Structure 1
Amino acid sequence: MSRIFRRLSSSLRSLSMRLGKSEACNVVVVGLDNSGKSTMINHLQQAKAEDDEPYIPEEVAPTVGFRVETFRRKNVSFTAYDMSGQGRYRNLWAQHYTEIHAIVFVIDATDRMRLCVARDELEMVLDDPSVRSRPVPILFLCNKKDCADAMGPAECVAKMELEKIRERPWSIISTNARNGDGIEEAIEWLADSISFDSSSASIESKHK
């Protein structure tokens, strides 16, 4: 019976998306300060307006606490909780774990010195009961790919020990949040990976 229900739920979701009905999705965006979280969301905000004017990135002030932004892709209406990466605010990340469908973890690909800190923060995210109990997908953005000293996805996977993640779907994509390179591909993966019915969530680990 549960298998029939899952198939019916999936079919209804596909039908609703074809008919133009959007799904609502909550995403928490985390990572250390200066990794590019707010710049990435600002790009998505700018792109959703579909202006003819090119997007010219501005300097982004560090987020204090968190901010909430919305955007839409592939018939999915995203509400993004852009969480501050500053040390004194990281304890706020967990406040939103119970209401999310996915996690976006932004990695500064040029910051090798603090990669161990990012790894420790990721472990705390994965160990949180609200995350551990549900196979919500995690999208890793290996950001600042335009910088000459930036790490590639393979190095980030190794140093962040991402191969240990086997209980949930995940992907890592190189991005440049300032000009949007890789952002749309990343959000497309996220939209395709999110389960809106926890009973039918995929637990298969998939990554790039």
Structure 2
Amino acid sequence: MGLFDKLAGWLGLKKKEVNVLCLGLDNSGKTTIINRLKPSNAQTQDIVPTIGFSIEKFKTSSLSFTVFDMSGQGRYRNLWEHYYKEGQAIIFVVDSGDKLRMVVAKEELDTLLNHPDVKHRRIPLLFFANKMDVRDALSSVKVSQLLCLENIKDKPWHIWYITAPVHSEIYIRNKGEIYMNK
């Protein structure tokens, strides 16, 4: 069973076709993570920053995923809200090594959670605390505290810590830890 199948199971997604929004600040690793979730023959070797958004489609044994990889650059974040209605799950990626921008990530998360197209839906949220290999990176517990994830009571959510180097594959360890195999 692939990672997307496991994600779908955890997120409680039963539909055959699933739309996933991938959000987070610029340089958090969204595109790299999405690229590594694809089958190896569909992965790209060169990762470039997303301008606006890109759409990736994956098929697993039981589901078809459409992933909206939304740019995290400040000038493009206003585009996110135009896709909230389409999303059946949200992946929110944070750079756990970028302590200074954690406040901005929190503000963007609050904006997302309070948007009318998200606020009253029980949309599942998966948080990736990325770049855990960076010196002095925040733990997933600290990231969870800084984002105030414990205050999310009306949506299922989970946080996984991850390191997503460009040339690797993603695997899940016990207790939701994800690791990359080069």
TM-score (norm 2): 0.80
Partner residue of 2:93 out of 106, 118, 131: 106
SS for the counterpart of 1:70 is strand
CA-CA distance at 1:45 after TM superposition: 2.1
1:159, distance to aligned residue in structure 2 (A): 0.8
Match of 2:122 in 1: 135
2:4 is matched with: none
Distance 1:119 1:74, change over 3 A: farther
Aligned mates of 1:73, 1:170 — CA distance in 2? 22
| Unmatched tracts of structure 2, length 5 or more | 1-13, 177-182
| 1:25 equivalenced with 2:18 (yes/no) | yes
Q: In structure 2, give the amino acid aligned to 1:26.
A: N
SS of 1:98's equivalent in the other structure is coil
2:27 is paired with a residue whose SS is coil
Q: Which runs of 5+ in 1 are unaligned?
A: 1-20, 190-208
Name segments (4+ residues, structure 1) moved above 3 Å.
183-186
Give yes or no for contact 1:144–1:175 (8 Å, CA) kept in 2. yes
1:1-208 correspondence to structure 2 within 5 Å: 23-47=16-40, 49=41, 58=45, 60-73=47-60, 75-178=62-165, 183-185=170-172
- Conserved in 2, the CA contact under 8 Å of 1:40 and 1:180? no
- Which one-letter code corresponds to 1:100 in the other structure? G
The alignment partner of 1:114 has SS state of helix
Q: Over the residues paired in the alignment, what is the CA RMSD in angstroms?
A: 2.5
Q: Pick the structure with greater CA Rg.
A: 1
**What amino acid maps onto 2:152 in structure 1?**
I
**CA drift at 1:146:** 1.9
More strand per residue: 2
Residue 107 and residue 180 in structure 1: after superposition, are their counterparts in 2 closer, same or farther (change >3 A)?
Answer: farther
Query: Residues 27 and 78 of structure 1 are in contact (CA less than 8 Å); yes or no, is this contact kept in structure 2?
Result: yes
Deviation at residue 70 of structure 1 after TM alignment: 1.3
CA contact (8 A) 1:36 1:108 kept: yes
Query: What is the alpha-carbon distance in structure 2 between the residues aligned to residue 22 and residue 184 of structure 1?
Result: 24
Q: For the Cα contact (< 8 Å) 1:106–1:143, is it kept in 2?
A: yes
Question: Which one has the bigger helix percentage?
Answer: 1
Structure 2 counterpart of 1:155, which letter? Answer: K
Which amino acid is the alignment partner of residue 25 of structure 1? V
- Per the alignment, in what secondary structure is the counterpart of residue 155 of structure 1? helix
> Residue 109 of structure 1 contacts residue 145 of structure 1 at CA under 8 Å; is this kept in 2?
yes
Q: Which amino acid aligns with 1:41?
A: I
